[in-house]
Structure 1
Amino acid sequence: MSRNFLILISIQATAAFFAVVTSFTISASLFHATGSAMVMALTVFFQVAPRIYLSFFGGLIVDRIDVLRTIRLSNWTEAAISIGTVVGLLAGAPITLIFWTFIVGKALVASVKSVALQASVKHLVDEGDYRRASGLTTGVQNFAVAAGPFAGLALFSYVGEEHLWLVFAMDTLVFLAAGLAVAGINGAETERALARLRFRDLRVGLAHIKQRPQLRLLVGFFAAQNFFNGICAGLIPFLLLSLQDGRPGYFAITNSAMSVAAVAGAFLAASLSLPKRQMVTIAGATLLAAIAGRLVVGLDHLPWLIATGLAFRSLILPFGSVVNQAIWLSDTPRQIVGRVLGTRRALAQGTYPIAVLIGGILAGPVVASNLNEVLFLFILCGMGEILSAGYLYWRSFRKDRIESVIADST
């Protein structure tokens, strides 16, 4: 596998670690300041909405500008956003406004940077290694962020709410260093697919998907899955913090357990070398197992049971994600990979931010008095995921034969 690619994901894993630190700090601070389920849901919404809905433009930028240059400039932009947050905290601006501005700024950068990181596999890795590279990327990043919640807990406890600016000052230094490190990767300039930036080129990604029924099926399936996942995702931070009366320790432990499980799942998925039809079958089986993890979370508000369900789900999900990524990379020309992946994200994940808000609205009136009704939402979402997974299985094996677009080496 490409040495430049391994260096790149190592650099970004370090940056991802500190991104989790700041995210944990923000969640804990806002919960202490407001105690509102809707505020927590809005926080998740602001984290994901710009990144998803602007992925169209992110893909266009990635195809116009060199991939490594895009990642380098993104890191430096994130450092600038952190500097602004430090200034706002020191000036005594409202904490909710400061953190939401920080989150939206980071999400805008992520709409470009995340597509560039996915496209780097196509540019820097041989086709036979797509699945391994995708699994390795997921595994390394999750390994880096596994310790993020504990580091965030330690920093939050040490600096206190009066000196939160120190956390974001450290975030500034991390992303400045990450940008410099990416600039130091030599001999890995990737080709530019577009001579100039034209908005009409956005249609290329959509046209590529429309011409392929297998890809349309995947987009529809993940749109449904992300809707049900979004309803629950907006509630998880509030639920975990509520179970321990606002103390962030359990929140940190559960998040780290989820990350460690995701590391194991990603590396295991990347290590498998099976015929493509067997890989698709395994991906389908693990998807059903992940749905079972969702249902376990909804059984009771016992902390250990919720942590077990979330960690098990995190262990299983990488199998489907790795196979899905390999399908898209195998069936997409290098010249348009940024626009196709950006379009895929906007379409397949576009339901997620809306669902996050729906979850916050549904939970708001009841969460203060009865967590069981919130947990029941997890059961309903799990049932919805089962229905969409059954439809995917029927279409992929009985009609569209989705495995036909995967490279034989996958």
Structure 2
Amino acid sequence: MRRFSLVWSTQLMSAIGSGTAWFAITLWVWAESGSATLFAMLTLLSLAPGLAMAPIAGALVDRIGSRVAVLVGDGALAITTSTVLTLYLTGNLEIWHLYVIAVFEGVMESLHLVAYMALVPLLVVEERLVRANGMISLASPGAEILAPALGGVLLALTDLSVVLLLDLVTFVFAALVLLVVRTPRPAVAEGERRRSWAVFRADLLFGFAYIFRSRPLVLLLLLFFVLNFSGAISYALTTPLIMMRSGDDQALLGVVLAAGGAGGVLGALVVSAVGDRFRRMTLVLGGMAVGSVAGPLLLGLSWTPWLWIASSLVAGAVLPAVNSAYQAIWQSHVPERQQGRVFGARRLLAQSSLPLGLLIVGPVVDYVLTPLFTDTGPGIGVTLLGGDKTGATALFLVFAGLLGLVAVLLAMTSARLREFGEPVATGAVKASEPPEPTDHEGMSTPR
């Protein structure tokens, strides 16, 4: 774990630096425009293109190697930060610049993420994958807690340029550490690597074919498609519901959101310490069930602040266990030399529900559900959830929680899925890998 810990620590600092820069940029956009729509568009542009390009990113990872791909991603992201910094210092930064940069940065983030996930199995033994992924999962809640605080202090004392410079320094430091850390690479014949450039189209389809020829992987993918859709609804509606039910209490909202970040850190620490002692699919299914009930379902039904805090804390705490076990399952069951293509296809398929959820949540609440709570008189729905847009928002959150819970219960009916995902015993012979795509060969059924 020593090599992995060194790489992980610098990548964690880089993630916090990026989160701080993103927080500062969003404040700058809000100060310049005062438009929530422009902010939402910036978020969408940073997400959707990266998902669409994930299969291409995965194919590149398998060609140039996960270590080189992480370095390329870090370097490209450092260039985008440098560009924003230069535009800001020269007084030429405009919002449309950030839209263009967000698209490029989203694509590079996708390359970096796929490569980082493929790099982990090269740095740790298979039995420690859940622990390693638990450590990686610290990045998101850590950034949620530290980035706003650090960004707010830096912006109060200095300006946006200092925040961007800090982000740039963390990128460079992470890249330098990865350059000096020795990382093995899956053995690929040189002739095969050269030949693979001529069948790039087949490589783009390879990851999808691999996934769809394995029933447990398809079921796992569908489960996370639902989880991401439910999560998008919860992400979009949590803040509005709390503000409406609390009378626009911003301080309380901050406490609730901070509880989610604290829960994420706590959960990641626990998984990093003892996650390898549990069955991976138990962590996935159990964590998703608890998160669905304690997260959007409880939040939609509750009216008291301490329940909102508890909901955010528990939902945040189980997420690292779910994601860590999920990543470990894929890392164990996909051959190392094929992980880039498979992980790229998986990212596109599983996370395409995120922009879908973000796009539909507003219209559904405003134009479909709100009239149901406005046109009807007081009833059990209004009494339980609230009236007008409050009730509509709460109802959609309850739906998101129930959707996640039903998906878990259906998944539990599959014996193959319940038994899937445990690591191959040390020294055991792994199942043969499907052949690399060529101009004349098909692809055999994956493990």
Instruction: Sort the TM-score into its range (normalised by shorter chain).
Output: 0.7 to 0.9
Query: Superposition pairs for residues 339-350 of structure 1, below 5 Å?
Result: 339-350=341-352
| Counterpart Cα distance in 2 of 1:316 and 1:223 | 17
| Counterpart Cα distance in 1 of 2:308 and 2:36 | 18
Check conservation: 1:37, 1:360, Cα contact below 8 A. no
Moved more, 281-290 or 215-224: 281-290
1:291-335 deviations in whole A, cap 9, x for unaligned? Answer: 122222223576654443222211012222222222211211111
**1:149 shift after superposition:** 2.1
Distance 1:222 1:338, change over 3 A: same
| Counterpart Cα distance in 1 of 2:310 and 2:20 | 22
| Counterpart Cα distance in 1 of 2:168 and 2:241 | 30
1:379 to 381, 398, 408: 398
Counterpart in 1 of 2:165? 169
Counterpart in 1 of 2:296? 294
* Partner SS, residue 301 of structure 2: coil
Q: Which amino acid aligns with 2:61?
A: V
Check conservation: 1:5, 1:120, Cα contact below 8 A. no
Distance 1:34 1:77, change over 3 A: same
Counterpart in 2 of 1:316? 318
| Counterpart Cα distance in 1 of 2:28 and 2:364 | 23
Aligned residues: 397
| Counterpart Cα distance in 1 of 2:302 and 2:29 | 26
Instruction: Check if 1:183 corresponds to 2:179.
Output: yes
Moved more, 74-83 or 191-200: 191-200
Counterpart in 2 of 1:406? 422
Check conservation: 2:58, 2:115, Cα contact below 8 A. yes
Counterpart in 2 of 1:394? 413
**1:383 shift after superposition:** 1.9
Moved more, 150-159 or 400-409: 400-409
Query: Superposition pairs for residues 317-332 of structure 1, below 5 Å?
Result: 317-332=319-334
Q: Which amino acid aligns with 2:227?
A: Q
Moved more, 285-294 or 336-345: 285-294
- Normalising by structure 1, report the TM-score: 0.85
**1:94 shift after superposition:** 6.7
Check conservation: 1:295, 1:379, Cα contact below 8 A. yes
- Normalising by structure 2, report the TM-score: 0.79
Identity %: 24
Unaligned runs of 5+ in 2: 371-387, 427-447
* Partner SS, residue 190 of structure 1: coil
Distance 1:143 1:281, change over 3 A: same
| Counterpart Cα distance in 1 of 2:302 and 2:143 | 30
1:135-160 deviations in whole A, cap 9, x for unaligned? Answer: 2222366446532221122233344x
- Determine which structure has greater relative contact order: mean sequence separation of CA pairs < 8 Å that are 6+ residues apart, divided by chain length: 1
| Counterpart Cα distance in 2 of 1:19 and 1:353 | 21
**1:222 shift after superposition:** 1.1
| Counterpart Cα distance in 2 of 1:383 and 1:124 | 38
Superposed CA RMSD: 3.0
Unaligned runs of 5+ in 1: none
Instruction: Check if 1:223 corresponds to 2:222.
Output: no
Distance 1:134 1:116, change over 3 A: same
Check conservation: 2:121, 2:129, Cα contact below 8 A. yes
Q: Which amino acid aligns with 1:176?
A: V
